[in-house]
Amino acid sequence: MYYSPSFIKTAFKGIFLAAFLLFFTHSKVFSQNQVNDQGHGKMVLKWYLSHIDHQEKRELYYKFTYYMNGNLVLRQEIKNDSSLLEKSYSENGSLTVSKIMPTYLINISKALVRYKSETDSSKVEEVALADYGPELFYKCAVTPPKITMLDTLSQQTLTVAGHTCIKGKAHILNSDFEFAYTKSRLNVKSPLNLFVPNFPYQILWIKIPLDNNPQGIQTFVIESTSETIPENIKNSITW
């Protein structure tokens, strides 16, 4: 049976985000100096949704482009990114819309986020990282998950962002999830490592079932990394 993109929207709307946040933000606060230095460079992370029986037919839901410099992380997407276009179908034809992705700067050591005011773009607002809705991954630097089981005995591999990765498994909040890590040295730290605190290698892939929808799978993948930050972007990574 074929599952169209409309299935994804219908099946997951309003539940996958809640499940994700519950899954990874149910724990104690820890010292942020453990995750201060994120290295220097760029990392692109993509969030996919799929049906459990048709995981090869995944749909891109969200994209996160991060520029790291020490304890500062800027999220900024390319304007008119074609991968962020979404098509809706009706009796009168189709409508293509572009998802609006926010731009914001994270200060890991201060656990704060800065972004332009929605009412006045000349003003910058500041909010606690734990309270900033659009950011999912770095919130785990404030309230990390408590892992109750970690299995890295598998020799199964897959290639992610050009790196050979080894699969592992972990258990949290009565749920199991898979991840893949590489022993290669990278110039920037993967935000996916915040899901498995103190893990010694870079995690580039995570697959998580949706607790409140057994048909749903969400996958987080590091698509690419780079040592280079464009000059116009570099000037924005200042606190």
pLDDT at 21: 52
Domain count, the chain: 1
* 122 within a domain of the structure (yes/no): yes
pLDDT at position 212 is 65
The verdict on residue 9 lying in a domain is no
**CA atoms of 95 and 59, how far apart (whole Å):** 18
* pTM metric for this prediction: 0.81
Q: Would 57 be classed as within a structural domain?
A: yes
Q: Does some domain include residue 178?
A: yes
Category of 236 on φ-ψ map: left (φ > 0), alpha (ψ -120 to 50) or beta: alpha
* Domain assignment of residue 45, yes or no: yes
**Residue 229: which domain range?**
39-235
Query: Domain containing 63 — which CATH number?
Result: 2.50.20
Whether 96 is in a domain gets the answer yes
User: Does the residue 117 lie in any domain?
Assistant: yes
Nearest to 234 by CA among 40, 78, 71: 40
Asked whether residue 11 is domain-assigned, the answer is no
Q: What per-residue string of b and e applies to 140-167 under the rule 16 or more CB within 10 Å gives b?
A: bbbbbbebeeeeeeeeeeeebbebebbb
User: What is the CA angle 123-126-130, rounded to 5?
Assistant: 150
Q: What is the pLDDT of residue 19?
A: 47
Q: Tokens 């304007």 label which residue?
A: 79
Question: Which residues in the chain show pLDDT less than 70?
Answer: 1-35, 80-100, 173, 211-212
